[in-house]
Amino acid sequence: MSFAEDVKNELCQYQNETPLSAKIEASCLLRMGGSLLLGMHGRVGIRLATANNAVARRVLGILRSQYSLHTSVLIRRGLNLRKKNVYTLTVEPTEAGRIALEDMALWPVTASITDDWLDTMEARRAFLRGAFLGGGSVNKPESDYHLEFMTGNREFAEAIVHVLHMFRITARVTERKEEYVVYLKEGDSVTSCLQIMGATSALMEFENVRIMKTVRNQINRQVNCETANLQKTVNAAVRQLESIRIIERHQPLEELKPKLYEVALVRRENPDASLQELADILGSGLSKSGVGHRLRKLEKIALDYEPHGLDEV
């Protein structure tokens, strides 16, 4: 079972506080994934196909409890490789069906959820919960942060963005295969959305993995930084040692100025030492930068003798 399915299963256990929030949730869910059925004499019905058993039972429960609608359920084997069952809920076109769909702002087709439905925090939470159950998805915590709502209705996509903005969550909309996708890419936005919809357990799992990823990334960055610094130290030491060898080919080291001679000997005797370690060995209050300055002078002398002598180092 995917993480997105786990989230939907948990959301289906959420207890709506009011009949209005249940109506809003069902309205958004059916708006995302339902298809209207038109009958004679203004009769209207609706059909929803879903591969999630919990979502099917959720819709069935709301329609029966809120509107006492007769709903038939057809279960068939999926045709894809996973062969999951597909649950098709159907409310046949009836007068009662039309009245219920009008009450849920699903009929006529130009109807939309009005702002007065979203006056309360619970109503807004129900809006997002229904939209996610009807056409939402979220990546497993181990992968990239991504939560999305997919709908064929541009206006409803903009409504989802609007409701998310009410919770100070910034979302973007893109088109994908003639569908409109409202998506969140930031970890904080994804966790906030999960919390708002009511997926507490999924939120905890997401946060735990997120914390582990953050710690792991910090450790990796630190290790990479230390490795890079070590490599830089090694490369500098190799170049300094080669400079000393070049100088020796052209003159005795003893002919160098005393300070340069001293640092050349210490570097040759301690090829793996860092600048700070060389400074500690030399003592006399010599700093790390002072050692580096003397070594650069040795490199300059070496290049005066052999201008291309350090090209391969």
pLDDT tens digit at each of 313 positions of the chain: 789 999 999 999 999 989 999 999 999 999 998 999 999 988 999 999 999 999 999 999 999 989 988 888 888 876 665 668 899 999 999 999 999 999 999 999 888 888 889 999 999 999 999 999 999 999 987 778 899 999 999 999 999 999 999 999 999 999 998 899 999 998 899 999 999 999 999 989 888 888 887 788 888 888 888 888 888 888 888 888 999 999 989 998 888 898 998 998 998 899 888 888 888 888 878 888 998 899 999 989 989 888 888 877 7
What is the per-residue pLDDT for 78?
Answer: 67
Write the CB contacts of 240 (distance below 8 Å, at least 6 apart in sequence). Answer: 267, 295, 298, 299
Long-range contacts formed by 254-260: CB under 8 A, 24+ apart: 256/298, 256/301, 259/294, 260/294, 260/297, 260/298, 260/301
Which domains occur in the chain, in start order?
Answer: 3-198 (3.10.28.10), 216-305 (no CATH)
- The three-class DSSP label of residue 299 is helix
Q: Identify which of 136, 131, 133 has the alpha carbon closest to the alpha carbon of residue 118.
A: 131
Of all residues in the chain, what percent are helix, strand and coil, respectively (each to 5)? 60, 15, 25
**182 in Cβ contact with 153 (< 8 Å):** no
- The three-class DSSP label of residue 69 is coil
- The three-class DSSP label of residue 272 is coil
- The three-class DSSP label of residue 49 is strand
